[in-house]
Structure 1
C-alpha cells in the first residue's frame, strides 16, 4: 500500500511554516519532520514518520505558492541567519550564496527542498501539483 503525504503549498509562508506543514503532513498535528535542511534529508531516509517498509508519495499541492514563499527573499533571510552561525571555514561560501540570493539568482530554498526530496527518495515519490 502506498501512503500519500500531502503538503499544502498555500499554507507555506516561509521556511519555518514549511517545517510545520510538512511535520503535520507526515506525523499529524504538531508533528516533526525536520527543522533544517539536513534534518529534513535525514527524516526522508526513514524512521521519522515515513514508512520504512512501504512506498510513500509526497504530493505537494499548490507548489507554485510555496515556491514563491520559499524564493530568493526567503532564501536570503535563511542565509543571513546561517551566516551568523557558520563556522569560519564556511562563511565565504555562505556570503557568496547570500549575494546571489539578494541578486535574485541561484537556487532557492524551494529548489533545495525539491532536490533533497528527489535525491533521498525513490523516483516518482515527489508529485508537484
Structure 2
C-alpha cells in the first residue's frame, strides 16, 4: 500500500463534514415526501364506507388533500427531522378511533392510514434516505 497524503485526506473529510448536514436534510425531505404520496394513495379509495381497521374511505377528499410533508428542520448537529401529517380536525380519530359527535355519543372504530403506510414503507424510506444522502455527499 502506498503512502497516504494526510493533507488530502483531511481536506476530503472536512468536505464530507460540510456536505453531511445538507445531505441529511435532503434525505429526510425525500422520506417525508414519499410518505405523503403513500398516505394520500391510502386515502384514495371510493366513497363506500370502509371497514374498521382499513383506511377511511374518501368522501369529500378533504382528509386526503390535507396530508402534507413539512420541510425538514434541524434538531441537532447534522440531525434533521420532518413530519408528514394531516392538520384536519378528524384525522387523529380516524387513525386511532374514539368517541365523537354530539356529546361524544358515537364511537368511531380505528381506520388507520398513517401507521400501516409507514410500516409498509420502512425499507423504501431507508433506501430513499441512503440513496439521497450518498448522492448529496458525493459518494
Q: Give the structure-1-normalised TM-score.
A: 0.32
Q: Give the structure-2-normalised TM-score.
A: 0.30
Structure 1 or 2, whichever has the larger Rg, is 2
